[in-house]
């Protein structure tokens, strides 16, 4: 790295660090990608998989609701709007985030239904940590996948976890242990919620 480029890069890091510190305790992850001209692009809401985590922000800790029924009204509203089984949505939320609206995965998925930033625009999601928005967006996406896989819930769940490309590639649930475990856990909770409601 040339001296001037190195100096510019270090200044950028210092500026980003200052922004993160100044915004504490409400800070955010910063993502970056380098385009074909060598220009670095930074954002806190990536809209493309080209962006990679650059600086991990610390989010304030929020206590996870002890009552799993805290979001039932929001879930029922989304279930009615998108014609998705209420019990299935609850099961997805439990496996995705354990009902923590501030959850952030190592890959950057956010909120109750763990939505990836590059899906925010298509799902009309402006604040992934706002429960109503997140549940609506996640249910919309789940509904799209259920239709895409002609009502096959297991394939839709596999696509929710591993992406539709992997489900299409393997013509079903991909051979990833994480995805297989995910589908099994959601389906088991789905049955429990259906029998208890």
What amino acid positions are annotated as catalytic residues? 96
The candidate with the shortest Cα–Cα distance to 141, out of 167, 102, 114, 175, is: 114
Please tell me whether the peptide bond between 25 and the residue prior to it is cis, using omega within 30 degrees of 0: yes
The candidate with the shortest Cα–Cα distance to 196, out of 72, 77, 84, 65, is: 72
Q: Per the structure block, which two tokens stand in for 35? A: 């385009």
3-class DSSP state for residue 43?
strand
Indicate the DSSP class of residue 115: B
Question: CB-based contacts of 157: which residues, under 8 Å, 6+ apart?
Answer: 92, 145, 182, 183, 186, 187
171 contacts 163 by C-beta, under 8 angstroms: no
Neighbours of 142 (CB within 10 A): 23
According to DSSP, the β-strands at 40-43 and 52-55 are: unpaired
Q: Name 42's bridge partners.
A: 32
């Amino acid at each position: 790295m040339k001296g001037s480029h190195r100096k510019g890069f270090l200044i950028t890091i210092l500026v980003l660090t200052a922004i993160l510190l100044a915004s504490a305790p409400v800070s955010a992850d910063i993502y970056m990608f380098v385009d074909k001209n060598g220009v670095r692009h930074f954002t806190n809401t990536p809209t493309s998989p080209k962006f990679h985590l650059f600086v991990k922000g610390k989010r304030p800790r929020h206590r996870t609701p002890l009552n799993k029924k805290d979001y039932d009204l929001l879930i029922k509203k989304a279930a009615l709007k998108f014609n998705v089984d209420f019990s299935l949505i609850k099961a997805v939320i439990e496996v995705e985030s354990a009902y923590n609206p501030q959850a952030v995965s190592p890959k950057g998925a956010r909120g109750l239904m763990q939505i990836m930033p590059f899906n925010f625009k298509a799902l009309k999601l402006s604040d992934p940590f706002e429960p109503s928005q997140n549940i609506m967006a996640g249910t919309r996406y789940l509904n799209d996948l259920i239709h895409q896989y002609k009502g096959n819930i297991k394939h839709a769940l596999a696509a929710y976890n591993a992406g539709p490309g992997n489900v299409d590639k393997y013509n079903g649930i991909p051979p990833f242990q994480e995805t297989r475990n995910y589908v099994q856990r959601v389906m088991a909770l789905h049955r429990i919620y259906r029998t208890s409601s």
